[in-house]
Structure 1
């Protein structure tokens, strides 16, 4: 899959160059979800995995509220406009709507999208301060370096795909700056931060956040 993606992107970039529009095109490379090996595609992914670890040092995967399910690769490229570098700014794919609207000069707006064009162009490190994350209709809150996952009913691990879902009868609180692998739940040891995160989450999401859809593997 990596080889095929590399080839496809190479062909795409070469086409932009041949058409004479490479220097007038903002290219965005991202993904729709975290990794999964066996959710209905019979492609020998498990058998061919070898020593490769698709999630790296992250916890979870596709369908999960843990970082491997919600933290996506995100690369922007624009020849002559974006300097090579790495940004730790918090952004969301929805922010492309408002940002591209700003880029092309339209007055169209979107409720959930934020104008982060300068972040995408590498001009600033200031992204979102907070973001509601979603996985299979369940939601959580990211605020700065903190992530809070509220209680949800359901399996802790979905056996069909072998992925931790983030479901638990208890709140989960992580400091991603210190614990990107989400090994230590700080909900009990840091009750003030938990309360702050829960109140902020409910003010955005509402009280009915536990009304969720049943999981569908696809």
Structure 2
């Protein structure tokens, strides 16, 4: 039986509200991970056509409704002022999905890259008695949430393992967020550190890719696969448009040392490969077709080169392939 995903947001919300009501008398942790707006995207009939941004906008409006329902449930249960509410996203937009993949808001590239368009996401936090109406520019990672929540709730993190991340309670209470620490950016498909941020500075390693960059960026619309070593000041250049490495050699060298330290960190996890439902086909077919086009272009170019060598390569290929 086909899965009707149009009502997923409403069903998730209903379960979350029920959970709050059932656990309001004791401390609880609610992790509400909506399927939307990951492709394939769906909105319920109540929200279809209600935005000016097409289906993606409709989906986001329904998510906004969902957040409102959860906050109302916390209010009705009398626990809102004793609750940390966090709303965030897992990664930047998936550009190959077009209008269904989201936008970066001016940041460079998207999901799958180590430019900020792939990593920097909006986060909204509410904490009763904490700071309100303030925008915080200090970098915070998903890795920081575990030690932060542990501190706020009086829990103790396990001492028998390395806990990635740091306690950033000060970000939510209006106190000092602490001294800047390095944040490492990893490539999408392996464990190599590709870039590092320290304060407002970000250093990105030189990269080379044997597929011509023009093909990858034009057909896949998926970032830059080859570039020189890059240094950005994210405070003055959040779109990562100006490489200032030649003007700041001391900063670049300092970050190279930090990158080398990051190389010593060994991942103890594994890549998770997921296969979606049949409804995913519409989005993934586009990506697969793009990859196929890239493959055909490369094969065609290789055949042209080989044919040219065979015809005029001083008999070299004729001897190998008579």
Give matches, 1:184-199, under 5 Å.
Answer: 184-199=242-257
Alignment of 1:132 onto 2:191: no
Aligned counterpart, 2:153 = 104
Residue 7 of structure 1 deviates from its aligned partner by 1.0
Larger RCO, structures 1/2 (Cα 8 Å, 6+ apart): 1
Structure with the largest fraction of helix: 2
Residue 129 of structure 1 deviates from its aligned partner by 2.7
Normalization by structure 1: what TM-score? Answer: 0.80
Alignment of 1:163 onto 2:222: yes
**Of 104, 109, 113, which residue of structure 1 is paired with 2:165?**
113
Deviations along 1:54-93, whole A, 9 cap, x unmatched? 2122111111211111111111102333322111112111
Q: What do you get for the CA RMSD once the two structures are aligned?
A: 3.0
Aligned counterpart, 2:196 = 141
Give matches, 1:1-218, under 5 Å.
Answer: 1-39=59-97, 46=99, 54-109=103-158, 110-126=162-178, 128-136=180-188, 137=190, 138=192, 139-154=194-209, 156=213, 157-159=216-218, 161-165=220-224, 167-206=225-264
Q: Is the 8 A contact 1:82 1:121 kept in 2?
A: yes
Structure 1: runs of 5+ lacking an equivalent: 40-44
SS of aligned partner of 1:77:
strand
Residue 15 of structure 1 deviates from its aligned partner by 1.3
Deviations along 1:151-208, whole A, 9 cap, x unmatched? 234364455641214x325211111122111111122343332221111111122399
Distance 1:21 1:127 in 2: 33
Structure with the largest fraction of strand: 1
SS of aligned partner of 2:70:
helix
Structure 2: runs of 5+ lacking an equivalent: 1-58, 275-283, 288-322
Structure of higher CA gyration radius: 2
Distance 1:103 1:207 in 2: 28
Normalization by structure 2: what TM-score? Answer: 0.56
Distance 2:169 2:226 in 1: 37
